[in-house]
A = this chain, B = another copy of it.
């Protein structure tokens, strides 16, 4: 690599590191807003976040950054893989920053801000028609965004790519298509079993401090490092990393149900392990972050569902459950807890859905999104389309729009193309875990001993330590030696349902 390209690359890394400092500061401000900030601080905080975002955008979209990138790209022959990947990521972020005209960014921000308000009212009144004009406006603006970003086949591709690099409507349609029929069939068989499995064992009166301690015990055992992280309360659980060595999880509790608090914090700790597993050499570096939302979700779902809803996990953790809640679990068996945590139900709300039916909610969202963006579906017809889909997939009809197509905030935030990452995460999680099992045949035995380090280290090596070196599909291929496929997930969920619901014995 020539001297000029080398110098340009180094200068870009310096600027990028500063940009990371600004994102880190924003992340802390946002975290604090959701956890600790006193109510009257909201207005000033919103302005601070806007100022930081504006400055970060201004600096990273500066013409000099574009010139430095060209300098690198024009003489990149001797770039090693890491340097090439870092340049690719910086180019991507620069293009993202510069392709949208400022006027569109502002129009979009104003439209989402208004739409969020309207969506809250419409959901409150369970009246989708009230939301139609705002939603239509956001879809129109999103199509303009797609044009500005550019795409090869479908406008939705440009939006999918924002959350899952390289994802296309057609690839996801293929993947989800394979999944859909089989999930529907399996769901029907499970629901046929009716009340064979009950969640009652997890529904009682659970002291929240004790729930908190149990959760910390579990995620500590998983390997979440509290010297480099913490856990706090918030209304909506999330995971954020305001800086290297500082990964924060949040959680909430339901007094009457153990599941949201416990599986919620395990889910976030799965995200947290990914963040804590980034290579130290890539701190404040273009490659030092997660490669996509789908891969991020694969880590959280792997721990939440595949690990923490397994029998070996409960063979180890039942005593902890008994320690914190002796009255409820004195006479429980690991098998009983295992059954209860895997209870399946046709339900209206995605975020409360079980492992099996969850993906059907997501597939339906994606189908609707692609029909809208291809012009096959009118916005006004979404409720009917949603209800038809729910009937078709789960055999239930939402009693109203609030429990139907109005339930999720994503569209009101303009987040078209986001939903598929949830199911991609589920598919990746099973595909990764299948490989981990092949590499580490003693996993079940280890889980029974409360040992999660070989799994965690395998994930660290195969996923976390790659940072953004590989794009999502390339990462899955590198870790599993196969293209992303729904097969492992289908096999996994079918086996579990068989075990829990005794399908094969019916």
Contact = CB atoms under 8 A, between A and B. Distances in A.
A230 B38 contact: yes
Given A28-B28, A52-B21, A227 B47 contact: no
- Count the copies: 2
A328 to B, nearest CB: 28
A51 interface: yes
A284 interface: yes
A293 interface: no
Nearest to A56: B55
A228 B40 contact: yes
Interface string A1-33: 000000000000000011001101100110010
Contacts of A32: 28, 32
User: In terms of DSSP, what is the predominant structure of the interface of chain A?
Assistant: helix
B244 A38 contact: no
Contacts of A22: 48, 51-52, 55
A239 to B, nearest CB: 14
B284 A38 contact: no
B227 A38 contact: yes
B44 A230 contact: no
A41 B284 contact: no
Interface string A279-304: 00001100000000000000000000
A380 interface: no
B25 A52 contact: yes
Nearest to A50: B21
Contacts of A37: 246
A25 B33 CA distance: 12
Interface string A220-233: 00000111111000
A36 interface: yes
Given A18-B51, A55-B55, A244 B44 contact: yes
A226 B25 contact: no
Contacts of A18: 51, 55
A40 B226 CA distance: 9
Contacts of A283: 44
A245 B28 contact: no
A24 B38 contact: no
B245 A43 contact: yes
Query: Among A17, A38, A284, which residue has the most Cβ atoms of chain B within 10 A?
Result: A38
A42 interface: yes
B48 A243 contact: yes
Given A18-B51, A32-B32, A55-B55, A24 B40 contact: no
A318 to B, nearest CB: 30
Contact of A25 (B36, B48, B225, B228): B48
A36 B229 CA distance: 10
Nearest to A19: B51
A242 interface: yes
Given A25-B52, A29-B28, A32-B28, A246 B38 contact: yes
Nearest to A35: B36
Given A36-B230, A51-B18, A284-B47, A245 B42 contact: yes
A369 to B, nearest CB: 35
A45 interface: yes
Interface string A82-93: 000000000000
B29 A227 contact: no
Nearest to A243: B44
A230 B32 CA distance: 12
A51 B226 contact: no
A278 to B, nearest CB: 12
A55 B40 CA distance: 27
Given A25-B29, A28-B29, A28-B32, A246 B284 contact: no
The 5 nearest A-B residue pairs measured at CB: A41-B246, A44-B243, A40-B245, A21-B51, A40-B228
Interface of A: 17-18, 21-22, 24-25, 28-29, 32, 36-45, 47-48, 50-52, 55, 225-230, 242-246, 283-284
10 contacts: A21-B52, A22-B55, A25-B51, A38-B229, A38-B245, A39-B228, A40-B244, A40-B245, A42-B245, A44-B244
Given A36-B230, A55-B55, 17 more contacts: A17-B47, A18-B55, A21-B48, A21-B52, A22-B52, A25-B51, A28-B32, A38-B227, A39-B228, A40-B225, A40-B227, A40-B246, A41-B228, A41-B244, A44-B244, A44-B245, A45-B243
